[in-house]
């Protein structure tokens, strides 16, 4: 399997997102905002989503384990089928997905080890 960061878009922010998401274990979930906070980019949830959308599929980065703040898969025609792919990947990991994309986020939320958390804030636009 390729290194998760090997599939990066060349953008430093994206590389940080991919490196953090690579740590989310199977059967666990994080939100876009949670990933942003974990890389020290508070308030950059939307940019985390854009970074994950730039990943070529299939990807070694477990992008499917990142969901919106409401604990849902964003089901949308604009996702070009990746929403259904995300649903199937989560089901394969034992995470129940409701027909509307709702997930048991509280039960499956990832709590990363302190060693992975940032020491200082960084920007989602200036790197």
Just give the CATH number of 8-106: 1.10.10.10
Taking the domains of the chain in order of start, what are their residue ranges?
8-106
Per residue in 40-74, is it b (16+ CB within 10 Å) or e — as a string?
bbeebbebbbbbbebbeeebebbbbbbbbeebbbe
- Of 40, 3, 41, the closest CA to residue 22 belongs to 3
28-77 pLDDT, tens digit each: 999 999 999 999 999 999 999 999 999 988 899 999 999 999 999 977 66
Q: Are 106 and 29 in contact (CB under 8 A)?
A: no
pTM of the entire structure?
0.85
């Amino acid at each position: 399997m390729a290194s998760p960061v090997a599939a990066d878009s060349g953008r430093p922010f994206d590389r940080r997102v991919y490196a953090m998401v690579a740590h989310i274990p199977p059967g666990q979930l994080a939100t876009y905002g949670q990933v942003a906070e974990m890389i020290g980019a508070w308030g950059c949830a939307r940019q985390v989503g854009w970074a994950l959308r730039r990943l070529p599929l299939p990807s070694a980065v477990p992008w499917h384990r990142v969901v919106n703040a409401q604990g849902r898969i964003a089901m949308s025609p604009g996702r070009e089928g990746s929403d259904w792919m995300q649903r199937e990947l989560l089901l394969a990991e034992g995470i129940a997905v409701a027909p509307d994309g709702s997930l048991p986020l509280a039960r499956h939320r990832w709590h990363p080890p302190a060693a992975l958390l940032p020491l200082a804030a960084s920007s989602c636009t200036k790197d």
